[in-house]
Structure 1
Amino acid sequence: MKKLLVTGASGFLGWHLCQLAKQQWDVYSTYFSHEIEIPGVTMLKIDLRDFQALKHLFQQIQPSATIHTAAQSSPNYCQTHAEESYAINVTTSLNIAGLCADFGIPFIFTSTDLVFDGLNAPYRETDPVSPVNAYGEQKVQAEEGILARYPLATICRMPLMFGMATPTATSFIQPFMQTLKDGKELALFTDEFRTPASGTTAAKGLLMVLEKQVQGMIHLGGKERLSRYDFGRLLVEVFQLPATRLKSCRQQDVKMAAPRPADVSLDSSKAFHLGYQPLSVREELEMLRG
């Protein structure tokens, strides 16, 4: 069985990816601060910012491919901790790309829809980037640096992701549901649009990209453009949550450290043509409800 190195098993996407990848690959996955066990996956504790440790890891495992999902992905945290988040989001990503280039193996980097400013959606792979916050800026620097260092690398721009909580990570729906179950008010934006996909769907997309040896840029968004508020309404309906506490608000009414783009919907037709098949958000939520 070929060896696949997945960084960031304790993150939401990394965990979902390991669950699927272990069916076809001998998976090795890294974690740093949140210890985690995934049956059928070899777990390795490492600080990815330590280049010597990283190099040693590659020599030890000799992976056939690498998918890099580890990141500091909270836009507000990146905005207020620019240097610390740059080290993991940019420097580490370039180091991993360089090692994959040295080993001549496929390298898939998970980027974000937040590389766009939200003024010209839906976005295709060829559209110019113009991030409005530090997190988006770091992902752009990583994308450009990776392709300069390793032109055969793959950049997968990921949408807003949701799904069941993992042992060490939640998606945005868990706090939403808890707020409503507690009888508290949940105010969601009517003017922020994304193309959400579940963690499982996103992981399937990454494995498809690896299998089909896609190189360069590809978008792995869902099929529907939804506002946060529309998403909340679907969530309330499918999980039969108290709807009266769901309220609408606008981005400008909420003060956040990181500015947020209004509409970063992705046009993922390139991936759809290759066989990427996200379900509708309603179907995804119904599957989560079980």
Structure 2
Amino acid sequence: MKTILTTGSNGLLGQKITEKVLAEQRVSLIATSKGPNRYPIVDGYEYAELDILNADQVKYVIEKYRPDAIIHTAAMTNVDTAEANKELCHQLNVDAVQTLLSLCEEKNIQLIHLSTDFVFDGADGPYKEEDAVNPISYYGESKVLAEELLINSNANWAILRTILVYGITNDMSRSNIVLWAKGALEKGLPINVVNDQWRMPTLAEDLAEACILAVEKNAQGIYHVSGKDYMSIADLVRKVADYWVLDQSIISEVSSESLNQTAKRPAKTGFVLDKTIRDLSYNPHSFEEGLKIVDEQMKKVGGPKSGV
């Protein structure tokens, strides 16, 4: 059984990996994140506090646990924050990757790195893995720079690009598109939703499964990992309204330009999933199935918690 170390284990994806490891026992887990462990179960795996910007601490933790693979989920993912604070974004999304990469090269550890559809400009989606990158935001640029570090390294690496991850855990630090839409519609307040951006939303459980499959199959190279359904953001919000029987009359469809966001977003991304399905036996849920899973989990945990 392989041992994996996750960074950012307090985040949505990190917690879903912990949940999956505990349920299925396919790998051993060292979960790491900044600050105390927020996952409600503390038995069955190791937890270590880890600030990915502290190179000495990163080296200490990796040398202590000697994992077979690292799944690197920690990053700055808020696109507007990244645009406004490029220096910190670069530290978190590029410099921290270099720190991990150097250790992985030295100690022959597989590195599974999470990336994004925002490496593309959105002019011609859905995209295949070999399509040319052309980011239009600093967030996207930082993720391209990180990808280039791996591609040009001697490490054993795989890049998993993903899109609009959604889901729920018991203790969340931030929301996601599905929880935001459901919460806003339940409040009954008018909301503006863009109708000129197209995505393939990804259930966090599906992405967690892809991460573990990448370790088990010793995946190498770039893989596209998302949900299977292609839709506009407006359609996504309407599907959320349909599922939970919420009032759609308060949804106003607007253009991206009208929102005056700090960072540009690609218009049409989406992924061709053929390679990931073939090589990793990846089998994503439909968006409808994903909403059902989220709904069932909400009933168990009593609805969204902190930060949502």
CA distance in 2, matches of 1:20, 1:252: 40
Q: For 1:184, which of 178, 189, 201 is the aligned residue?
A: 189
- Report the Cα offset of residue 44 of structure 1: 1.4
1:81-135 per-residue CA deviation (whole Å, 9 max, x = no partner) reads 1001111100001111111111112110000010000001111010010000000
Using a 3 Å threshold, how does the CA distance of structure 1 residues 145 and 166 change in structure 2: closer, same or farther? farther
Please name the residue that 1:269 is paired with. Answer: 274
Q: Residues 89-108 of structure 1 correspond to what in structure 2 (within 5 A)?
A: 89-108=93-112
Unaligned 5+ residue runs, structure 2? Answer: 297-308
Q: For 1:213, which of 218, 233, 249 is the aligned residue?
A: 218
1:223-257 per-residue CA deviation (whole Å, 9 max, x = no partner) reads 11111111111101111122221221111111111
Q: TM-score, normalised by structure 1?
A: 0.95
Task: Tell me the percent identity.
Answer: 27
Q: Which is worse superposed, 108-117 or 236-245?
A: 236-245
SS at match of 1:156: strand
Confirm or deny that 1:131 pairs with 2:132. no
SS at match of 1:149: coil
SS at match of 1:217: strand
- Report the Cα offset of residue 208 of structure 1: 1.3
Q: Is the 8 A contact 1:98 1:150 kept in 2?
A: no
SS at match of 2:222: strand
Q: For 1:51, which of 45, 51, 55 is the aligned residue?
A: 55
Letter in 1 for 2:218: Q
CA distance in 1, matches of 2:242, 2:167: 16
SS at match of 2:113: strand
Please name the residue that 2:31 is paired with. Answer: 29
- Report the Cα offset of residue 38 of structure 1: 4.4
Q: Residues 146-157 of structure 1 correspond to what in structure 2 (within 5 A)?
A: 146-157=150-161
SS at match of 1:224: coil
- Report the Cα offset of residue 150 of structure 1: 3.2
Q: Is the 8 A contact 1:191 1:227 kept in 2?
A: yes
Please name the residue that 1:287 is paired with. Answer: 293
Letter in 2 for 1:276: Y
Unaligned 5+ residue runs, structure 1? Answer: none
- Report the Cα offset of residue 283 of structure 1: 1.4
SS at match of 1:49: coil
Please name the residue that 1:174 is paired with. Answer: 179
Using a 3 Å threshold, how does the CA distance of structure 1 residues 248 and 33 change in structure 2: closer, same or farther? farther
Q: Is the 8 A contact 2:108 2:156 kept in 1?
A: no
CA distance in 1, matches of 2:221, 2:100: 16
Q: Is the 8 A contact 1:159 1:197 kept in 2?
A: yes
SS at match of 1:98: helix
SS at match of 1:72: coil
- Report the Cα offset of residue 25 of structure 1: 2.1
SS at match of 2:196: coil
Q: For 2:69, which of 60, 65, 70 is the aligned residue?
A: 65
Q: How many residues align?
A: 290
Letter in 2 for 1:88: L
- Report the Cα offset of residue 41 of structure 1: 3.2
CA distance in 2, matches of 1:47, 1:279: 33
Using a 3 Å threshold, how does the CA distance of structure 1 residues 259 and 204 change in structure 2: closer, same or farther? same
Letter in 2 for 1:277: N
SS at match of 2:133: coil
SS at match of 1:36: coil
SS at match of 1:235: helix
Q: For 1:245, which of 250, 265, 271 is the aligned residue?
A: 250
